[in-house]
Chain A
Amino acid sequence: MSPPADINVRLSHKAGRHERKRNGCTKILCGVIVLIQFKNVSKVYSNGTAALKHINLNIGDGEFVFIVGSSGAGKSTFLKLITCEERPNEGEIIVGKQKLSDIRRSEVPYLRRTMGMVFQDFRLIHKMTVYENIAFAMHVVGASNKEIRKRVPYILGLVNLQDKAGCHPRELSGGEQQRVGLARALANKPKLIIADEPTGNVDPAMSFEIVDLFSEINKRGTTVLMVTHEHSLIKHFKKRVVEIQKGSVVSDKCTWEAGND
């Protein structure tokens, strides 16, 4: 398991000011370095909906965590708080060494460069080829053409799509499209992959293949947070499962323990 130096170095590049203040925020939990920390976090939307209530949760660097719960339970809000799309009303969130409550708007893009996002609806640009979709994500963070030419074929190899580089997303199956989505999320070497129901639009057989890929990437040291509804996946891949119901964490177990319930 690789140390979290990567994420910290990249964040401190833009947030050196916070660096000194936050020294010591990273905790060691049962021998695992904590990557994401939720301390008594609550989120109430402006319409009065309490999406999350007093969440306390640690996610270790290199972990694979399934987030489960019924619709409207607060799973998406949980992910949005990590990506700074939403800010908590109460409590503290720490990602790497970065306290998200202190982060300025202008620093948010640099935080997101340490994360890769995978969406249920793939969110691929249809007028671009598979190659261009991945290259686009690298262009956005200012990668050079040389870097792009080197990295894109490598990632396409990781997701077994090297033969589809010139295809447009519409020519691919749902499973293949999601693999492109994953490849794009990996383009900028994130330490954390956040996937919001990545198998929601993929047929069941393909779902296993997709999660297999996530699992493979996780083995290489990338932390994976995956929201899912599919119990078959949870049972098959023996990972940590955090269940959120009505804005609270109601269970936090490993699959084999959950299976015994």
Chain B
Amino acid sequence: MIKSFSYLFKEGLKNIWSNRTMSLASVCVLISCLLLTGAAVLFSVNINTAMKSIEGENSIKVYMKENLPVLESIKAGEEIKKLDNIASCEFVPKDEAIEQTMGMLGQEADKSLLAGMTGNDNPLPDAFKISVKDLSKYSQTAEQIKKIDGVSSINNYSDIAAKLTKLDKTVSTAGFWVVLLLAAVSLFIISNTVRVTMFSRRLEINIMKSVGATNWFVRVPFIVEGVVIGILSGLISSGILALMYGRMTKALTSITLFSTVDIGPLIGRITLIFVLAGMVFGALGGMISIGRYLKREGGDIVDW
């Protein structure tokens, strides 16, 4: 049995090599399918992490009107503190805010961009960092704060969270359909690749059957072919995904304040899932194409 399997495994590998153009096409389609799936998943993971960090930060930023004298701002702060639902209220002067922003950009960012924005040229307003006692009364408290003189705006995290959720849902739904379509296409391409192999090997199949090969014996090399194509695609696509994601996040953090999820701890799992998915697809593709021809007998195999 083991001897037979090693023989059949070698046959499967030979098939891939002798049909290298079609094998390459299968690998490419499967890679694009896996890459798109991976990209959609990573996008979703990032959105979820961003949302969690927003939700976890139970503070509200209250921005004062531009060029409002500091004293006026402090007066407004006193009024905010008087409200019921306020746990803490911390004044963030605009000078401090611009320094914080520069700190967030990190060392790699071009600090010269913000260099001319200090002192009177500072475009940021004064602000208060407030934390609320009860988050469910958030909108009520926000309304009360808005009515206070000198308050320009409140950053509405619940709104951002809702927008992010909507975006995540849209991406997930669109991603799901695109992946489903690509999955169907890759299954079609793989089964066609295997069918091409089968066509060129129909004489062998005929002889196999005439000397008494079981259907499994005929099937195994084609399944091996599909599975190897799947494993290859899985490995290549997880490599490409890690590389592209790394580059993209580096570019993103250098131009925006958007913080991204590190792919490092995820890559092992992604590779495993990709390889498994590739194997399943490959095996399915192989099975689909061989299934029909196994029912043929004798000369029908050679003459079809």
A residues with a Cβ closer than 8 A to B are 80, 83, 85-86, 106, 109-113, 115-117, 123, 125, 136-137, 139-142, 144-145, 184, 187-188
The size class of the interface chain B forms with chain A is: 20 to 34
Residue pair A112, B298 in contact (C-beta under 8 Å): no
Q: Which of B206, B208, B214, B297 has the most CB of A within 10 A?
A: B214
> What is the bound-complex CA distance between A116 and B214, given in angstroms?
16
Q: How far is the CA of A24 from the CA of B62 in the complex (A)?
A: 99
Q: Are B207 and A106 in contact (CB under 8 A)?
A: no
Does B219 interact with chain A (Cβ within 8 Å)?
A: no
Q: What's the least CB distance linking B12 to chain A, in Å? A: 14
Besides the known contacts A115-B212, A117-B211, 15 further A-B residue pairs in the complex with CB atoms under 8 A apart: A80-B298, A83-B210, A83-B298, A106-B215, A109-B212, A112-B210, A139-B4, A139-B7, A140-B217, A141-B211, A141-B213, A142-B1, A142-B3, A145-B3, A187-B211
Which residues of B lie under 8 Å from residue A111 when comparing CB positions? 212
15 contacts between A and B (CB under 8 A): A80-B297, A83-B298, A109-B213, A112-B211, A116-B211, A123-B210, A125-B203, A125-B204, A125-B207, A136-B204, A136-B207, A137-B207, A142-B3, A187-B211, A188-B211
B-chain residues with CB within 8 Å of residue A113 when the two chains form the complex: 211-212
Known A85-B297, A125-B203, A125-B204; contact A140-B211, beta-carbon cutoff 8 A:
yes
> Is B284 on the interface with A (CB-CB < 8 A)?
no
Q: How far is the CA of A74 from the CA of B211 in the complex (A)?
A: 23
For residue A136, which residues in chain B have a CB less than 8 angstroms away from its CB? 204, 207
CB distance from A25 to the nearest CB of B (A): 21
B211 contact from A125, A137, A144, A145, Cβ within 8 A = A137
B242 touches A (CB below 8 Å): no
Please give the distance in Å from A12's CB to the nearest CB on chain B. Answer: 15
Q: Which of B7, B206, B213, B214 contacts A123 (CB 8 A)?
A: B206
Contact A140 B203 (CB under 8 A): no
User: Are the CB atoms of B213 and A140 closer together than 8 Å?
Assistant: yes
B65 located at the interface, meaning its Cβ lies under 8 Å from any Cβ of chain A in the complex: no
Most buried by B among A83, A116, A140: A140
A110 neighbours in B (Cβ, 8 Å): 212
- Contact partners of B210 in chain A: CB under 8 A: 83, 112, 117, 123
With both beta carbons as reference points, the residue of chain B lying nearest to A188 in the complex is identified as B211
Q: Is the CB of B203 within 8 A of A112?
A: no
Top-5 shortest CB links A-B? A113-B212, A112-B212, A85-B297, A140-B213, A109-B212
- Known contacts A85-B298, A142-B4, A145-B3; A123/B212 CB under 8 A: no
Residues from chain A with a CB closer than 8 A to the CB of B204 are 125, 136
Query: Which chain B residues (206-250) contact chain A, with CB distance < 8 Å?
Result: 206-215, 217
Per-residue 0/1 for B170-212: is the Cβ within 8 Å of any A Cβ (1 yes, 0 no)?
0000000000000000000000000000000001101111111
Contact present for A140 and B212 (CB under 8 Å): yes
How far does the Cβ of B184 sit from chain A's closest Cβ, in whole Å?
30
